Amino acid sequence: MTRLPDQHPQAESDQTLLGGLWSRFWPSRLAPEQARNTAQMRLIFAGALAITCFAGIGAKAFHLATVSAQGDTEVHVRLAGADRGAIYDRNGRVLAQTVPVMTLHVDPKQVLDPYEVAEKLSAVLPELTKQDILAALSRKTRYVELNRKITPRRHAAILGLGLPGIFITPSNLRTYPNGAEAAHILGQVNRDGLGIAGIEKSMQATLSSGRDVTLSVDLGVQAVVRRALAEQIKTFEALGGTGLVSNIKTGEVVAIVSLPDYDPNQYAVAEQKALFNQATKGVFEMGSIFKVLNTAIALEAGSAQLSSSYDVTRPLRIGGFPIRDYHPYDRFLNLSEVLVYSSNIGSARIAEEIGPEVQRGYMEKLGLLGRPALELTETARPLYPSSWGRLSSYTISFGHGISVSPVHVMGAIGAAAGDGEFIAPTLLKRSPGEVIERVRIFSSQTTRKVRSMMRLVVSHKDGTANFAEAPGYLVGAKTGTAEKVKGKRYDKRANLVSVVAAFPIHDPEYLVFVMVDEPQPQKHSHGYATAGWVAAPVIADIVNRIAPILNVHPVDINQPEIRRNLEPDLRIGGKGAIRASY
């Protein structure tokens, strides 16, 4: 056989092999028996080829499905904040933690029949309607989250539906086991696990590194304050309110409540007004609470003594602005009576002797002219006059013309009613032996006299905080009622009422502040909606309930130690000396 010049021996062999196979399966002439055999071989070959093709297609489909699901998980469901630290109260109770959850999500592009998916999923997820699911499936995205917390039972039910495009993947969820109990303190994280409010935001660096944070807050005290305040807000049909408790000796904030509040587990549906933290972000004119500071400054500056007296028989006018008393007096009042009776005129006359410059200097040292150094980003700068003149000093003496937050009040009153040292409030639990930064503002002699007057505000029959009395706990307090500004004018029908109290007053351990926003007169309060009727009873309720929690024991007011720590010679009502332990 002659080989052509371009023909290769291997090519010739391949042709011969293919030709042999072709002739075997499709011979040109077949005998009957051979034809049957050939047909059988053809069927076997075709069947094997079909099986191979279907197996290949199935393997590819399985591969695509598993890779797609894994890809969606990696791209869309990040295990954000998996190692984020927990937040605890001072006793080790969990306030915030990250827990593993199963998340239900869908890839709309892989859904074959949206109506079938909506029909079947709505039966398993009653919180979602068919319309909700159809709307989700119509979104132009590869990832739509339907439920962040799928229970095991629902998980099994959804898997049993066999719906393409539906995925259940592991994720993490930041949870707040106590709901709204400490919402404004804790704040919130976003979907990427980053803090966006409260401690979650201010302590982001610590928490995101996996370290836990222990707060100074006591969850039990927090619950007591929240419930007592909420009950009184409801009783007096008020707009809201705030309550705080702090340790005078350490500056630790034991409770912060701002109402209305919200559930941080349902942050997305919270109302805007509920998100606002009145205790730290709101600034208000505090009214007569400032008379405590005015008295302490006068005593410390040497511009007043217990025996000093002030003419309150007629309104005090300056620049056409009249200063009046809620209850007029037709005689001179001494220093103690000005505070116990809550005389605006007397306070203004005390401020006149202090002088604007000295008054402003003390206010600055008490932290009232700057943003509080609290571990929250939601704090506010106070509002005060740029020109601190005579008129400003008069009104500031009784808490008008300057707006501060409740946290400001806690720090300042803590110095005046404690041992005279200013300690910046903190939300972090102090460690044993920790050195606390203290600034001496008032002497022990000054604070002893101020505490004694605060006690008489509660215990004397003419005091304005009689309803703050908590038998056995020797409460000292001061009330404050301030008209709110509406339309550039003070509205007499819209008041902020507040009380600040220390207990036990002979050796204060804790400070309590309560403020109620726009309480309405009630029949049981004889038409009054003042601090004495609204806020003072809340103080008594809180003290009675938190004292056992805080390990504060009832005291006998006749003990010599108590008498030594309170001023023995205060003259109220022109009836001679009265012991502050009265």
* 3-class SS of residue 226: helix
Inter-axis angle of helices 344-354 and 290-301, nearest 10? 40
Whether a cis peptide bond, with omega within 30° of 0, leads into 504 is: yes
Report yes or no: 291 and 303 within 8 Å, Cβ to Cβ.
no
At position 186, the amino acid (one-letter code) is L
Kindly report the number of other CB atoms within 10 A of residue 94's CB atom. 15
How far is 411 from 418, CA to CA, in rounded Å? 10
Inter-axis angle of helices 290-301 and 444-459, nearest 10? 140
How far is 38 from 36, CA to CA, in rounded Å? 5
**Catalytic site residue from 246, 288, 343, 392:** 288
How far is 396 from 414, CA to CA, in rounded Å? 19
Positive or negative torsion for Cα 94, 95, 98, 102: positive
Q: Which two tokens stand for residue 176?
A: 């707040």
Helices then strands, each counted (H, E), the chain: 20, 20
Nearest residue to 166 (alpha-carbon basis) of 103, 93, 227: 103
E strand intervals along 465-509: 476-486, 489-503
Q: Which two tokens stand for residue 73?
A: 């998980």
For residue 570, list its beta bridge partners.
578
Report yes or no: 182 and 225 within 8 Å, Cβ to Cβ.
no
Report yes or no: 265 and 533 within 8 Å, Cβ to Cβ.
no
Residue 515 DSSP one-character state: E
How far is 248 from 252, CA to CA, in rounded Å? 8
Residue 399 DSSP one-character state: T
Q: Which residues contact 22 (CB under 8 A, 6 or more apart)?
A: none
Report yes or no: 467 and 458 within 8 Å, Cβ to Cβ.
no
Residue 529 burial (10 A CB sphere; 0-12, 13-18, 19+)? buried
Helices assigned H by DSSP within 378-530 = 390-397, 406-417, 444-459
Report yes or no: 513 and 244 within 8 Å, Cβ to Cβ.
yes
Whether residue 208 lies in the annotated active site? no
CA atoms within 13 A on the CB side of 69: 13
Catalytic residue numbers? 288
